[in-house]
Structure 1
């Protein structure tokens, strides 16, 4: 993997982030699966995340699972504990991004911050950027959309699966 990303260094002092193990422990309970986790670099921004995904794309051809774990809408400061659904801003932003993912308009997704609901939906990039890794790695592939749900007002659980449908 380091050959694909020559400017990346390895540091496992932190351990596995909850965005990795919370997903994998349910998908593969007890399985001894080696995991390489990429940390989110909030300084480099969305284009960098997308470019890293493109650089990692050859791993998929060798059978590697590339998993991006995040949220389209993730604003813990605006949680509405009594709201089982999404707020209007969350619904609009999630629908906007899902529409772009379906069309594979990656350029507009990279510039998601231009959307008027982005500051509410993704006030920090850390939960949104995993989508850009996966879009970069899945060039031209059409997504399968699952779990298209918003809850507690300001969280989205919408997921995208690439590699199981048509190109």
Structure 2
């Protein structure tokens, strides 16, 4: 049975400590995946926060948890999520992406663990991160996702973590919703994802709010990997909200409809 593909909006790292509708949606989605498909052999994670020149894959049997954020309450740095690695998945990625190579300097960063601590609590499922190639562009990210798609047939869950709208320069700390520009861009991308107009998402920069919503590509590119890994599949939209003005929490899951 083919495993789903998930793109999650991770937003503030504080979501690891939250108990709200967003985190409940993460939890319920993880439970549904296991109920319907069984426990994944491992999770292939594509986090915005491992942003590199080239494509790298982890091979460590015990990747370290990274607290790659600063200035947050002590309780956040006490959250433990320490899954094992899974060398068979590492080797499959290397075979599917000949341009990739092993790099264990990184680990399980907050783009991954702040979501998975709710979605798959207990860190019982192995996790292997693959880096986001910041030099390759949107089309290349999509094609890399296509190359990884066959992993789903082998019991691996593909998980991308980023944000449709992510502009830290425009954060509105007192705004519990989204700015007009964030709402417009999020609605545009969600509409194109639902229509499976992947080309429009690849060429998102044609939208008038693109510079506001995606000032840097790191948080948007994980979506392109997940679209490539799920070609033709209709999404289920979850957590379709904006917060802090310039942050979108919208997520999509493919293969559950």
| Alignment TM class, shorter chain as reference | over 0.9
Residue 130, structure 1, aligned to residue 130, structure 2: no
Contact 2:165 2:248 in 1 (8 A): yes
Aligned residue in 2 for 1:60 = 152
Distance in 1 separating the partners of 2:227 and 2:128: 18
Residue 5, structure 1, aligned to residue 104, structure 2: no
Aligned residue in 2 for 1:164 = 256
Classify the secondary structure of the residue corresponding to 2:164.
coil
Residue 24, structure 1, aligned to residue 120, structure 2: no
Aligned residue in 2 for 1:111 = 203
Aligned Cα root-mean-square deviation (Å): 0.9
Distance in 2 separating the partners of 1:126 and 1:11: 19
Shift of 1:32: 2.8
1 or 2, which has the higher strand percentage?
A: 2
Contact 2:107 2:129 in 1 (8 A): no
Partner deviation per Cα, 1:86-115 (whole Å, 9 max, x = no partner): 111000000000000000000110011111
TM-score, normalising length: structure 1: 0.96
Aligned residue in 1 for 2:213 = 121
Which structure has the greater CA radius of gyration? Answer: 2
Gaps of 5+ in 2: 1-92
Partner deviation per Cα, 1:121-157 (whole Å, 9 max, x = no partner): 0100110011101000001000000110001110000
Following TM superposition, the consecutive aligned residue runs of length 4 or more in structure 1 with deviations greater than 6 angstroms are none
Residue 151, structure 1, aligned to residue 243, structure 2: yes
Contact 2:141 2:221 in 1 (8 A): yes
Classify the secondary structure of the residue corresponding to 1:22.
helix
Gaps of 5+ in 1: none
Distance in 2 separating the partners of 1:145 and 1:32: 26
Aligned residue in 2 for 1:82 = 174
- Which of 116-125 and 31-40 deviates more? 31-40
Distance in 2 separating the partners of 1:115 and 1:164: 29
Classify the secondary structure of the residue corresponding to 2:148.
helix
Shift of 1:67: 0.4
Distance in 2 separating the partners of 1:31 and 1:96: 35
Residue 102, structure 1, aligned to residue 197, structure 2: no
Would you say how many aligned residue pairs link Structure 1 and Structure 2?
Answer: 165
Partner deviation per Cα, 1:14-54 (whole Å, 9 max, x = no partner): 11221111121222222332211121111111111101100
Distance in 2 separating the partners of 1:10 and 1:114: 35
TM-score, normalising length: structure 2: 0.63
